[in-house]
Amino acid sequence: MKVHALSVLALTAALAACGSKTETNEAAATNTAAPAATETNAMAGDMGNMAMSPTAKMAKGTGKVTAVDKAAGTITLDHGPIAEANWPAMTMAFKAAPALIDSVKVGDEVNFELKLDGNAGEVTAITKQ
């Protein structure tokens, strides 16, 4: 069930990003006052910004490691409320870099930082309490 919920969240975030990209391309296409070369450069600049995801923000939380899945690249945390994401306390799997996954084990009480993008989060830092 947890994996299914995470998949739904990831799909929702991906679809939201697709909608934003279309709006950016339509806006660039309607700018007919600039020469073609300038339009191309402007679009490339916009696409570069799209990769950075303007909706991404940072959040901090505390919790307990309930699972570590090196193959999937995830750490499951039973965490308290995360105000920046408007999330209540819950248990959720988060993507994390291999070094972060190796730094914790099941049962560890941790402080962590997340990069939020829509309804998905990725652990960017984690320390034992």
Q: Which residue has the higher pLDDT, 8 or 122?
A: 122
Same domain, 120 and 71: yes
d(CA 119, CA 86): 10
- Tell me, what DSSP letter sits at residue 33? S
Structural domain including 85 reads: 57-128
Same domain, 77 and 21: no
Same domain, 67 and 124: yes
Contact 66, 76 (CB under 8 A): yes
Neighbouring C-beta atoms of residue 102, cutoff 10 Å: 11
- The total number of residues shown for the chain amounts to 129
Query: Which is nearest to 123 in space by CA: 109, 107, 110, 105?
Result: 110
Report pLDDT for 56.
75
Same domain, 76 and 28: no
d(CA 96, CA 74): 6
Domain boundary among 34, 51, 68: 51
The CATH number linked to 80 is 2.40.50.320
The stretch 106-125 carries a mean pLDDT of 94
Provide, rounded to the nearest whole percent, the portion of the chain with pLDDT above 90: 51
d(CA 58, CA 114): 6
Tell me the pLDDT tens digit for each residue of 85-94: 999 999 999 9
Same domain, 47 and 63: no
Report pLDDT for 73.
97
| Number of separate domains in the chain | 2
Same domain, 109 and 123: yes
Q: If DSSP codes are grouped into helix, strand and coil, which group holds residue 93?
A: strand
Same domain, 61 and 116: yes
Report pLDDT for 127.
97
Structure tokens at 123: 């652990």
Same domain, 122 and 71: yes
Q: Which residue has the higher pLDDT, 84 or 15?
A: 84
Same domain, 72 and 45: no
Quick check: 104 pLDDT over 50?
Answer: yes
Tell me the pLDDT tens digit for each residue of 3-46: 445 454 554 554 455 544 444 444 444 444 444 444 434 434 44
Q: If DSSP codes are grouped into helix, strand and coil, which group holds residue 70?
A: coil
Report pLDDT for 46.
40
Same domain, 65 and 123: yes
Instruction: At 27, give phi and psi (nearest 5°).
Output: -65, -40
Same domain, 13 and 75: no
Query: Which is nearest to 126 in space by CA: 99, 92, 91, 87?
Result: 99
